[in-house]
Chain A
């Protein structure tokens, strides 16, 4: 009966070989399994020739157990454990039969028929189980194929995702470049709006420089006349006037100089260097620029400008051209709002824009208020979003307030608050920490 174990081992190996056919594992295992099958048969004859039946049974059981153990441990054969599992009864029967044959041979001799029946039954069990698991096996095969397909799919998807990731990174880079270009062009656009205002602002002091130098030349002629006449009192009075005029020339020259410097600072890419800044001066300068910029475009426009500067304000650390841009933007918006309201409100409407600065505890506040159209409630939470604008296409970039927010909140740790009643007024409050 000992042959059954080896035959079972041989059949399992053949079957495994057949099943592996067509799979990627086949080339690796094919010849190994062929040799193993023949080895199992040869092993039987060798043991049978040398040892008695008890040893043959034990060795056969050990062979099967070893194969089952190997299949369980070997990664390649994990899916095929199902072929080895039905041999467990035969292994059990083999161990018991072998031990009894060796240890209590008389008992075995007496009941050898039962043992043979048990061995045969355990042997047949293997094939019965196989038949029963054939269906399972097919499912297994399907699931193995499916897994392979899935693996291919996953690989494809991974490649796709990688590609998308690279594309997205590229796009992000482009967007960042575009953003910085947009910020620069927004700056240049506001500078463009300012040009007329700047021209006016420079023209005024230049006129004074020209007029005062002209009149001083005239005064010198007169002074010579007076001196020739011997009227030194009058000549001295004229000299005092001339001296005063020279001071005025200097004053207006410096005024023009300051405007040009401010303009250059505004157009320059931000240096991000914070320096102690006089907010009142900065606000006044940009208020005038914004006002005259608008006046240059709409000559019939006029507004009441109210300034209420807290003269005791300390210098505040800030990037002046950046905060200047914020103020300019708020002024431009304020003028736009009152200009639009003027078109619909009739002659009694007195457009006004006011700016107020104040020190509040450990921060300073800048309030810019206009009595223009106001902001409707439904867009209040949108006004700080990039590209949001109520202006017609081409008139506003929609970046003004969004950039202002970045400058005040992100770069200066400040706050921007909006307070508005539609049709009545809009008030922006900038709070900067000291």
Chain B
């Protein structure tokens, strides 16, 4: 399963790669990264058919995660990629907005990687 992680903090990349070390090695998951909403859209534009799940931060400079979500839902409906939102501000408003805009799930920072792993495995099945 190919997962695109969108976060403006570059250090989430080694973190994901190490956390999912075993899964990556066993080709259960495959990660790609984008540092902004714009970059993510550009990536999707090229290879949206490969991507099954998008994991996006909400609070990013420029295009926010919520905006990215709206654009994804607007532009790519066949097949619709799964989108999980992540935010540091784990509040009702962002949660409600994310769900309204069609997010499949919502996670709060600091990320519980075991929980995330569970969820990803559920999606994978």
Contacts and interface: CB of A to CB of B under 8 A. Distances in A.
Interface stretch (A150-158, A273-281, A299-307, A378-386): A299-307
Contacts of B111: 207, 211
B11 A252 contact: yes
B21 interface: yes
Given A245-B14, A245-B18, A302-B67, A207 B109 contact: yes
A232 interface: no
A244 B14 CA distance: 9
Nearest to A203: B88
B91 interface: yes
Given A200-B88, A215-B19, A299-B94, A207 B110 contact: yes
Most chain B beta carbons < 10 A, residue from A200, A204, A245, A305: A204
Nearest to B20: A215
A248 B62 contact: no
A331 to B, nearest CB: 13
A248 B11 contact: yes
Interface residues of B, number: 25
Interface in B6-23: 9, 11, 14-15, 18-19, 21-22
Interface in B24-71: 59, 61-64, 66-67
A207 B113 CA distance: 12
Nearest to B97: A300
Interface residues of A, number: 29
A302 B64 contact: yes
Contacts of B22: 222
B15 A291 contact: no
A299 B91 contact: yes
Contact of A305 (B11, B14, B61, B89): B61
Interface in A208-229: 208, 210-212, 214-215, 218-219, 222
Interface of A: 200, 203-204, 206-208, 210-212, 214-215, 218-219, 222, 241, 244-245, 248, 252, 291-292, 295-296, 299-300, 302-305
9 contacts: A200-B59, A211-B110, A211-B113, A218-B18, A219-B18, A219-B21, A245-B18, A291-B61, A295-B89
